[in-house]
Structure 1
Amino acid sequence: MEAVEVPVLIVGGGGCGLAASVFLSDHGVDHLLVERHPDTSILPRAHYLNQRTMEIFRQHGLDGEVAERGAPLEKFGKVRWQTTLTGDGPLDARVIHEMDAFGGGALSETYAAAGPATTTKLPQLRLEPVLRRHAEERNPGRVLFGHELTTFTDEGDRVVAEIRDTATGEITEVAARYVIAADGGRTVGAALGVRMRGTPRMVDVTTAYFSADLSEWWHDGTIITWFVNPYRPDLSSTLLEMGPTWGRNCEEWGLHFVLGDTDRSDERAVVARMREVLGLPELDLTLHKLTQWTVEGVLADRYRDGRVLLAGDAAHRQPPTTGLGLNGGIQDVHNLAWKLAAVLTGRADDSLLDTYEAERRPVGRQNVDWGLSTWFHHRVMTDAAIGLGAHIPPENRASAFATFFDPSPVGAAVRARGAEIFGTHRAECQAHDLEIGFVYEEGAVVGDGSQPPPRAPMGDVYHPTTRPGHLLPHAWIEHDGRRLSTHDLTGAATGFALLTGPAGTPWCEAAERIAEKFSIPITVARIGSGAEFTDGDGGWAAVRQITDEGAVLVRPDNHVAWRSIAGSEDPAGVLGDAVSRVLASRSR
């Protein structure tokens, strides 16, 4: 049996595991990734990449290719409710409501001000090959598809695992100091007895992934369109573009629909049902894959078990509403990668890894709870907005729609009430604060006793702040003729940053001494009038929340680790204590 030793073993080669590989490579951490499938996903699966995820991709040089392959914002920046895809009846192909979503339309200015990268749409089917190529280029020969974990044992100072080549059956023994379980909870968590708490198996959803030319009937511009059939509720469905071309000339699609009594093993019957749902009995389509998946909202009872760290779907699974699943998984491993690098290089104690759970599990809980809330709300909101509900018998369904579209004063009132109800959907598709406003109240942060900014109940208002634990506010600054984001000051390779006001020279001098003492790179940026970094449009001054003499210490993942509102009589001592507490801190 061949034996391999490696600092980190990643189990799972989906979006979360591949992202972990890229991030670890950029931090200089040797690792091995194993994935039981022979290739990346054959299903579209998650398709929305939020602003925080795109900022992370930007930090690791992935954003350009992802954005190039993904849908531009003008092609997906709305959500729409529509009666049917096609038809020539008075209730057919009618737009019920539409609204800006996920940074599109009127939201674009707000999102642009909040970060150096914007959102995009790229299904996992197309994202994962990009991540795999970068993972393989940055870690040659150590990204192994067609290899599955069969057994593992945590021996205290290492994990010993057996990896089987699914093609040859050959077994390799791998000894790793740490394991990242990014396997969706299929093997590692279950073997450790990790329990998923919450609301499991709420409903099964059928999704068809297919190719067809829908250009004659499709309206450009939506990330998702819900068809609410005015005649038969069983024909209601959800249709999503899946690329590779975006807009009405899209070639591939995802259809969520009710299969009913149709035998899912009978492809001809399934295709016939799809044509019925789409209202196109003669449509030429190719069915690639039919899947049934379960909507649930569950959270792992722990994110760390000895030398095993759970991430992505292995740690949290939530309804797709608000798109916090894959995004949350990528953000998990971004949080984890710099900490593993710090521990493995001896710059930090193993206890730093305890802060992974302390920081990410509360965010996972928030995302699961929010996903459940928006899922349940969505299921009743649409009917309420149109004037449907349990009290409306099926034979009166079309009448309710007719009233909704009636040009009379009554129809106008129904539509006005409906618009207000649809407006509550912003908690699902405009939840900017959920995407970038989350905070680490405990963990590798040194609190300063300040209170967090207010949070809008609907999650749609983000308040930038330099309070420890929060994401560093983005602002454009200039240095040596180059335009930079404040997010560009940290490094992908375990680099911290110290941002000060224009009179922060004592902090800058202290940072040089602390960087040498702890053997960590700290980029120093004195920002303001007369400083090395200029704040031409005043963006940094508006969000820094420190005086000209103050300082903000930023972690490699661009979360604020510590700040001093003003100067100090002992900047080296104060800053050194902060760095020590961040790197060797047990979760508090």
Structure 2
Amino acid sequence: METFDDRTPVLIAGGGLVGLAASLFLARQGIRSLLVDRHPGVSIHGRARGINQRTMEIYRAFGIEADVLKAGAPFDDEAGVARCETLAGPWEWLYEQEAPRAWPDLTAGEFCMADQNTVEPILIDAAVNTGAVHRFNTELLSFDSDENGVTARIQDRVTGERRTVRADYLIAADGNRSPIREKLGIARPDAYTFLHSMNIVFRADLSEFVQRRALFWMIANPAAGVFGGLVSTADPSRWQLTVSYDPKTESEADFSDERCLRLIRGAIGRDDVPAEVENVASWEQGVGVAERYRDGRVFLAGDSAHTWPPAGALGANTGVQDAHNLAWKLAHVLKGWAPADLLDSYEAERQPLAAHLAPAIVRHQQARMSGATEPEDPPTQILDYRYWSDNREILAPPGGRAPHLWLGRDGERIAVHDLFRDTYVLLTDSDTGPLPDLSAPVRIYRIGRDLIDLETQWPSRYGSGSALIRPDGYIAWRSTSFPPPPPPPRG
């Protein structure tokens, strides 16, 4: 019989945004997890900079919104996309203004630009301070799953120490090339890669050339062999140049400091600008959605489950929202509050969403790169996806995200989604009769008594009666009266 060095309810493979978010969401619901990642820590590459309103709404409920907004402050004045041959030459603005970052009638979450490498430490601190365990420089060597759990072998990449971990469940947040997905034989039908890119992180003073900061500069300088894009970082002296390359003939090793400096100066348009290369990393743009998100006790989340171009802030955000959907379901099953088949709803809800988003985001990317009008309505794409119901005639339909409300509680202004984190919430406008004795984990708030409808929007957004809201902010059940609600549904 195999002995175990560690036991944990949930093992998380991958310490990027999705894995770290899953760790935090579980910890705040009282579920221990162990996260392993083979990298020594967070990357210096910005990547995944756009945090959309839905993700910020979630971060707000978990108490880290203010820290994330602070991390994004260096980008507050950036807007638009410019195209140029060099930074020193003339710029053509494909568009100069972004859509409004705040949608106060729809959500308390406000779009934020923040480098991934500044957000990840916030997630790490919040999760570890709530009981999560993270082991960076630790590689998942192998795993086996059975009907009762997962056995994994991990190795410390510094000391070489190997340990065996027994977990009830495994979350695969191990990226686009997910070894876990590959071992499980989960296919991504029709997946393809259409661009291989090299990120070059460098330091330089570009203030002479950048009088107004864009979100992104598209640079095409044939004379210097530069075709790519430039983005800023939270550090005003650090930048990232992205260029395409052919992996059949080139690799990271071919991008020496000398070659990178030539590309950087070609993008700037001047050879006399001091610059220092800090890091080089390859990545690929492609499209692919896993045909399954679950294999027994193993769940895919983030890039291991779906990948598409970085347009519309729907890549890492969708992954974080995967983790949000999965974490409360794991927590409820592990606590004995729900049957194990609740976990079937994770794939049933999240996989169709990814299949819907993938072609839409490809169209979005094509429009953005050409300067054409972007085809999707951002609020609809980000906030209006329904898991079950497409009936838009019903106020607050089950399966839809709970409509936003500004509420007063004990003299404090809060948003309705601030209430949704670890248990079901029953909102009701009934003021007659005693509250029922509920054995299920449900918090009950009466509109007009426990909560003040500050903008008098409850009738127009929820109608009258009661709404049972899941811990992820989606409506599970609606009634026009106030009978004792049924036990929380399975999905």
Aligned to 2:320: 330
Aligned to 2:305: 315
Structure 2 CA distance, aligned partners of 1:179 and 1:328? 19
Match of 2:445 among 525, 546, 552: 525
SS of structure 2 residue aligned to 1:222 = coil
Aligned to 1:431: 378
- Are 2:464 and 1:567 aligned? no
- Are 2:404 and 1:474 aligned? yes
SS of structure 2 residue aligned to 1:243 = coil
Letter in 2 for 1:253: W
Q: CA deviation at 1:358?
A: 0.6
Structure 2 CA distance, aligned partners of 1:276 and 1:233? 5
Q: CA deviation at 1:255?
A: 1.5
Alignment of 1:570-585 (within 5 A): 571-572=483-484, 575-576=485-486, 579-580=487-488, 582-583=489-490
Distance 1:200 1:498, change over 3 A: same
Letter in 1 for 2:50: Y
Match of 1:452 among 392, 407, 416: 392
Deviates more, 1:260-269 or 1:57-66: 260-269
SS of structure 1 residue aligned to 2:452 = coil
Aligned to 1:364: 354
- Are 2:101 and 1:101 aligned? no
Aligned to 1:255: 241
Aligned to 1:5: 7
Distance 1:96 1:167, change over 3 A: closer
Structure 2 CA distance, aligned partners of 1:532 and 1:252? 49
Larger-gyration structure (1/2): 1
Alignment of 1:77-92 (within 5 A): 78-87=79-88, 92=89
SS of structure 2 residue aligned to 1:322 = coil
Aligned to 1:555: 470
Consecutive unaligned residues of structure 2, counting only runs of 5 or more, are: none
Structure 1 CA distance, aligned partners of 2:337 and 2:73? 41
The answer (yes or no) to whether the contact 1:73–1:119 under 8 Å persists in 2 is: no
The answer (yes or no) to whether the contact 2:80–2:93 under 8 Å persists in 1 is: no
Match of 1:539 among 444, 447, 457: 457
Structure 2 CA distance, aligned partners of 1:112 and 1:72? 22
Q: Deviations over 1:232-267 (max 9, x none)?
A: 6954532211113xxxxx221122235699983332
The answer (yes or no) to whether the contact 2:84–2:217 under 8 Å persists in 1 is: no
SS of structure 2 residue aligned to 1:75 = coil
Aligned to 1:495: 423
Structure 2 CA distance, aligned partners of 1:219 and 1:48? 22
- Are 2:440 and 1:509 aligned? no
Q: CA deviation at 1:542?
A: 3.0
Structure 1 CA distance, aligned partners of 2:416 and 2:46? 34
SS of structure 2 residue aligned to 1:23 = helix
Q: CA deviation at 1:219?
A: 3.8
The answer (yes or no) to whether the contact 1:527–1:533 under 8 Å persists in 2 is: yes
Q: Deviations over 1:85-107 (max 9, x none)?
A: 544xxxx3233332432534xxx
Consecutive unaligned residues of structure 1, counting only runs of 5 or more, are: 245-249, 383-421, 442-446, 454-463
Structure 1 CA distance, aligned partners of 2:232 and 2:306? 26
The answer (yes or no) to whether the contact 2:172–2:178 under 8 Å persists in 1 is: no
Aligned to 1:407: none
What's the % identity of the aligned pairs? 31
SS of structure 1 residue aligned to 2:152 = strand
The answer (yes or no) to whether the contact 2:217–2:230 under 8 Å persists in 1 is: yes
- Are 2:91 and 1:119 aligned? no
- Are 2:52 and 1:50 aligned? yes
TM-score, normalised with respect to structure 2: 0.92
Q: Which has the higher helix share?
A: 1
Q: Deviations over 1:196-222 (max 9, x none)?
A: 223311121232111111112214353
Q: How many residues align?
A: 484
Q: Deviations over 1:425-474 (max 9, x none)?
A: 363xx622211222211xxxxx6xx7137xxxxxxxxxx96111111111
Q: CA deviation at 1:377?
A: 3.6
Distance 1:3 1:561, change over 3 A: same
The answer (yes or no) to whether the contact 2:425–2:468 under 8 Å persists in 1 is: yes
Q: CA deviation at 1:56?
A: 0.9
SS of structure 2 residue aligned to 1:253 = strand
Distance 1:232 1:542, change over 3 A: farther
Relative contact order higher in (CA < 8 Å, ≥ 6 apart)? 2
SS of structure 2 residue aligned to 1:71 = helix
